[in-house]
Amino acid sequence: MKFKTFAAFVGPSVLIMLIFIAFPLISVFWQSFNLTQPIYKTIEVETCTPGFLTQTCTMETQTIPELDEHGEVITETTFVGLQSYRNVLELDRFWAAVSEGAWSKLQTIDFWKALRFTLMFTLVTLPLVVGTGLLIALTINNASRAIRGPVIFISLLPFVVTPVIGALSINWLFRGDGILTAFLEWWTAKDLALFAQAWTIELMMMFYRVWHVAPFAAIIFYAGLQTVNQDSLESAVIDGASRWQRLRLIVIPHLMPLIIFVTIIHLMDCYRAFEEIVGFSSQGYVISLQWLTYDFLVPDQAGNRSVSRASASAMLTMIGIAILLVPLLKRTWRDHRGTH
């Protein structure tokens, strides 16, 4: 292929990746080492009480941001090195809590509280998504042709629903006098407050993630099941292999590249969990790393945003994703080299 032809095909994709991925990433990385703050000035303001004869006036000192000729707030950027990362990690409080063995104190630090939930949420839902997706795929594959279409349609419905809408739907089912809460109260003969404690909220968020993502894994695995060597399966049946043995020794090894693909996608999505925090309004009990970054960007009462700390939090999140993906990417690379 000529270079001009290759550039014509690849150039637009490279340009889009530079504009929407590379440049923003470089910008976030740079902002994590710099602190941008408004420049303030102190002025004296005279305040007078109502009236004429009894009117009294006092001088008050106020601090306001300086404005340029266009009415925009003037800011200054200062290089602070790793200070933003230290502010996010709060290492002094972290080591104090670790030395005391005080888990409750550790959970009062926003970053470590978010990291604990993010890791647990990611690693607990991963096997559930893969296992449930494989079960749905096997069910679809073994269904008769007459009902296979409706089964696929029903299985895909949770994945089609918009993430925030899906989270809100599960929220409404369990919150207050929701249908499922009412059923559980009738079944257990107890009053339940599922949103009054962190662990029940986490369970519902994990349930939602598996319910929402498992259909995606199922469709991927179902497509892979269509390429399983039927001769190998028939030979295994003749040799007396059980259904479980055929699944474990033939089907799962055949689907392993797809399982790794689904695992990679799931790890990246779960480590950036955000919709669940919003949909379940769980920020009073449970937060994620992605939500923490968003919270840093919410303006305070003075209208200021912690862009530097948000950038540091985003970089730490990306580092965490990379650490989780390294083993899978190394295996994928070894498998790729082994086929050549």
* Domain end call among 46, 79, 112: 79
**C-alpha–C-alpha distance, residues 339 and 315, integer Å:** 35
Full residue range of the structural domain in which residue 170 is found: 100-338
Please indicate whether residue 335 or residue 140 has the higher confidence score (pLDDT).
140
Same domain, 242 and 327: yes
Please name the residues in contact with 72: beta carbons below 8 A apart, sequence gap of 6 or more.
Answer: none
Cα angle 89, 291, 296 (rounded to 5 degrees) comes to 60
Same domain, 57 and 176: no
pLDDT (0 to 100) of residue 259: 92
pTM over 0.85: no
pLDDT (0 to 100) of residue 53: 67
pLDDT (0 to 100) of residue 51: 67
CA 246 to chain centroid, in Å, comes to 36
In a domain, residue 273? The reply is: yes
Same domain, 133 and 183: yes
Same domain, 206 and 317: yes
pLDDT digits (tens, 9 = 90+) for 30-77: 999 998 877 777 877 777 777 666 777 777 777 777 777 777 777 788
| Percent of the chain surpassing pLDDT 70 | 97
pLDDT digits (tens, 9 = 90+) for 127-183: 999 999 999 999 888 887 788 888 888 888 888 888 888 888 888 888 877 788 888
Same domain, 43 and 153: no
* Domain end call among 49, 79, 109: 79
Please indicate whether residue 126 or residue 39 has the higher confidence score (pLDDT).
126
Same domain, 202 and 157: yes
pLDDT (0 to 100) of residue 339: 61
pLDDT digits (tens, 9 = 90+) for 242-279: 888 888 888 888 899 899 999 999 998 888 888 889 88
In a domain, residue 269? The reply is: yes
Same domain, 104 and 75: no
In a domain, residue 45? The reply is: yes
In a domain, residue 140? The reply is: yes
In a domain, residue 86? The reply is: no
Same domain, 174 and 75: no
Whether 29 and 311 have beta carbons less than 8 Å apart is answered as yes
pLDDT digits (tens, 9 = 90+) for 85-112: 999 999 888 888 888 888 888 888 899 9
pLDDT (0 to 100) of residue 39: 78
Whether 275 and 101 have beta carbons less than 8 Å apart is answered as no
In a domain, residue 42? The reply is: yes
User: In 3D, which of 211, 331, 166 has the Cα closest to residue 264?
Assistant: 331
pLDDT (0 to 100) of residue 108: 87
Please name the residues in contact with 229: beta carbons below 8 A apart, sequence gap of 6 or more.
Answer: 250, 254
Same domain, 154 and 281: yes
Quote the tokens at residue 168: 């809100």
Same domain, 297 and 186: yes
Same domain, 138 and 40: no
In a domain, residue 221? The reply is: yes
Across 221-233, average pLDDT? 88
Quote the tokens at residue 176: 């207050």
**C-alpha–C-alpha distance, residues 150 and 200, integer Å:** 33
Number of domains in the chain: 2
Q: Is the pLDDT of residue 125 over 70?
A: yes
Please indicate whether residue 216 or residue 177 has the higher confidence score (pLDDT).
216
Give the CATH number of the domain where residue 151 resides. 1.10.3720.10
In a domain, residue 23? The reply is: no
Same domain, 179 and 311: yes
Band the pLDDT of 21: cuts 50, 70, 90.
confident
